[in-house]
């Protein structure tokens, strides 16, 4: 169904170069990813989102692109990518990719031509200033690491703008030729069979001298849809509530720009709630989030490939999350985030891990999981900045965690400590019916039985205890209730009847064993417990 695949699935985020090496050169590659597609299917994933796989010096994890129409030779070829799409399609798995067009690498031929002479046709593709900009030390995306947003280039004899690192000059997306090139890039990959594009740093991409150019998002979505009717644009935009609908567009109650948006505000509310053991931040955000157009969707996440961004929390709130999950300054980043994996933030507590992911999987939207979280991978804080959480996938306790047989790797495997590959790996958890991996496999497949989560209307119920979140999702096929206890202490809550159905409520999934007869008026929850309960189910006609 054209309107449903991105609303009712599970997205798995991975970096090809860190997932599986097939040729022994120490770098993950497309053929390695192909060999792991069955693993992803068994896990319950139906969409894979790939970090940039283009040619790149990889000074910023591949986000410093030098050719938007090709594949980094270390990862494979265009033929390998086409074969990956074929293999994924055979398994019912869609492939999304990063669209990084707000900047390029300074090694990109466009920038090399632009800096070579003022009359180059590529000169106006970038943002220049002949005089030293007054704001050259303001607005860095990476405060404390990159101190300037303008750099003087001796060859160009001018200053160029870079909101990210100085080796990533900003493209001027309002220029007609740049816009045309962006459409060509989207058309190229969509024609090959890519199902969606995660638009990197969308607010910076659409920023122009005349304000925010939301029409560019519409151009990208329309271009993708022309080549592949069901293609989706997922925008990375950590913006205020009043701006959200502008990213979707809302013509006749249908999204006309991006169809999906990461729910950063909900992510930060979940982090605050977990840190405080108080469900109110989540309840508040669910009340305040704007109603979306009927074909639009949130993308929910707990961890992504960057830091846990707490920038929109108040100072006291941010301090509480730092104290709970990143008390050491080395665990923090850019003054606003945490550079740890979730399992480390929760001190390896299995109950809290399951609670956190149950929360994510039941909140309105499409869940996005980061590779390795399904087995509880940790981080390597000896690596700089965000690289701490970008380590090779841990497949087994063999050499290099089964990631590669090479002696030298693109990045070191986590080999020591409680999260080391000898203890935390897929092979070990695959044979354990009580492992975190097994739990993920069960709950992701169970979520498919609850279509109401993704497409229904959500309502938070006021049941009293601040540490308990109870909400219901109502859809055309039925009603499901979700209860989560953010406290380590067991409790009992009273939930008013939500339907007039004569059939009794049915347990769907829970953190442990509860009575088979569900009594909503005295609903029990274990410490850090959760329950999914079907209240009404309309049979398919």
* CA–CA dist 495, 498 (Å, integer): 8
319 catalytic? Reply is no
What crossing angle do the helices spanning 264-276 and 280-288 adopt, rounded to 10°?
160
Biggest CA-to-CA distance, the chain: 78
* Three-class secondary structure of residue 174 per DSSP: coil
160 with 150: CB under 8 angstroms? yes
- β 366-370/297-300 pair status: parallel
Query: Nearest-CA neighbor of 493 among 525, 530, 457?
Result: 525
* Residue tagged 């639009």 (tokens): 296
277 with 467: CB under 8 angstroms? yes
Burial of 262 (0-12, 13-18, 19+ CB in 10 A): buried
The full 3-state SS of 23-88, as one line of letters, equals CCCCCCCHHHHHCCHHHHHHHCCCEEEECCCCCCCCCCCCCCCCCCCCCCCCCCCHHHHHHHHHHH
308 with 271: CB under 8 angstroms? yes
Alpha-carbon torsion (280, 285, 286, 288), positive or negative: positive
Annotated active-site residue in 200, 373, 374, 452 = 200
86 catalytic? Reply is no
Query: Nearest-CA neighbor of 56 among 40, 67, 48?
Result: 67
DSSP state of 126: B
How is residue 50 written in tokens?
């790939």
The size of the chain, in residues, is 541
Given 3-state DSSP classes, what are the helix, strand and coil percentages for the chain, each rounded to the nearest 5? 30, 20, 50
What residues does 304 pair with on adjacent strands? Answer: none
Give the H/E segment covering residue 228. none
Burial of 360 (0-12, 13-18, 19+ CB in 10 A): buried
* CA–CA dist 339, 236 (Å, integer): 19
* CA–CA dist 50, 127 (Å, integer): 28
Give the H/E segment covering residue 469. strand 468-475
Annotated active-site residue in 29, 236, 354, 511 = 236
Give the H/E segment covering residue 441. helix 436-447
Residues belonging to the active site? 200, 236
């Amino acid at each position: 169904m054209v309107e449903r695949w991105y609303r009712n699935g599970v997205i798995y985020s991975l970096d090809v170069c860190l997932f599986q090496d097939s040729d022994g050169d120490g770098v993950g590659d497309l053929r390695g990813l192909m060999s792991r597609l069955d693993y992803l299917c068994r896990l319950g994933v139906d969409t894979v989102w790939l970090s940039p796989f283009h040619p790149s010096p990889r000074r910023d994890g591949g986000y410093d692109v030098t050719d938007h129409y090709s594949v980094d030779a270390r990862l494979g070829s265009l033929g390998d990518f086409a074969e990956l799409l074929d293999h994924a399609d055979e398994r019912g798995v869609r492939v999304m990719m990063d669209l990084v067009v707000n900047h390029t690498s300074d090694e990109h031929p466009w920038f090399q031509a632009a800096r070579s002479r003022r009359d180059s046709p590529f000169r106006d593709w970038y943002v220049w200033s002949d005089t030293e900009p007054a704001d050259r030390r303001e607005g860095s995306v990476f405060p404390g690491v990159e101190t300037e947003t303008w750099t003087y280039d001796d060859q160009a004899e001018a200053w160029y703008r870079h909101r990210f690192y100085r080796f990533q000059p900003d493209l001027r997306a309002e220029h007609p030729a740049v816009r045309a090139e962006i459409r060509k890039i989207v058309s190229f990959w969509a024609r090959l069979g890519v199902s969606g594009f995660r638009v990197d740093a969308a607010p910076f991409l659409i920023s122009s001298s005349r304000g925010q150019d939301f029409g560019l998002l519409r151009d990208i979505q329309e271009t993708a849809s022309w080549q592949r009717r069901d293609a989706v644009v997922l925008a990375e935009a950590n913006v205020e509530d009043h701006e959200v609908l502008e990213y979707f567009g809302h013509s006749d109650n249908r999204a006309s720009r991006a169809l999906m948006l990461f729910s950063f505000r909900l992510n930060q509310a979940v982090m605050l709630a977990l840190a405080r053991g108080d469900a109110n931040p989540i309840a508040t955000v669910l009340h305040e989030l704007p109603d979306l157009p009927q074909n639009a969707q949130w993308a929910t996440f707990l961890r992504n490939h960057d830091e846990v961004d707490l920038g929109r929390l108040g100072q006291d709130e941010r301090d509480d999350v730092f104290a709970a999950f990143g008390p050491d300054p080395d665990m923090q980043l850019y003054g606003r985030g945490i550079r740890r994996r979730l399992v480390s933030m929760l001190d390896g507590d299995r109950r809290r891990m399951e609670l956190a992911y149950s929360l994510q999987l039941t909140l309105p939207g499409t869940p996005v999981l980061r590779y390795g979280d399904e087995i509880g991978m940790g981080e390597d804080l000896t690596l700089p900045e965000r690289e701490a959480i970008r380590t090779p996938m841990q497949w087994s306790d063999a050499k290099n965690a089964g990631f590669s047989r090479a002696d030298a790797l693109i990045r070191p495997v986590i080999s020591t400590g409680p999260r080391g590959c000898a203890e935390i790996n897929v092979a070990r958890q695959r044979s354990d019916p009580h492992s975190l991996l097994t739990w993920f496999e069960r709950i992701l497949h169970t979520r498919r039985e609850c279509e109401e989560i993704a497409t229904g209307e959500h309502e938070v119920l006021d049941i009293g205890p601040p540490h308990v979140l109870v909400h219901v999702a109502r859809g055309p096929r039925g009603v499901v209730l979700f209860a989560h206890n953010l406290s380590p202490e067991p409790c009992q809550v009273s939930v008013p009847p939500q339907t007039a159905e004569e059939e009794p409520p049915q347990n769907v999934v829970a953190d442990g064993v509860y009575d088979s007869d569900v009594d909503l008026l005295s609903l029990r929850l274990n410490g850090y417990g959760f329950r999914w309960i079907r209240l009404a189910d309309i049979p398919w006609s």
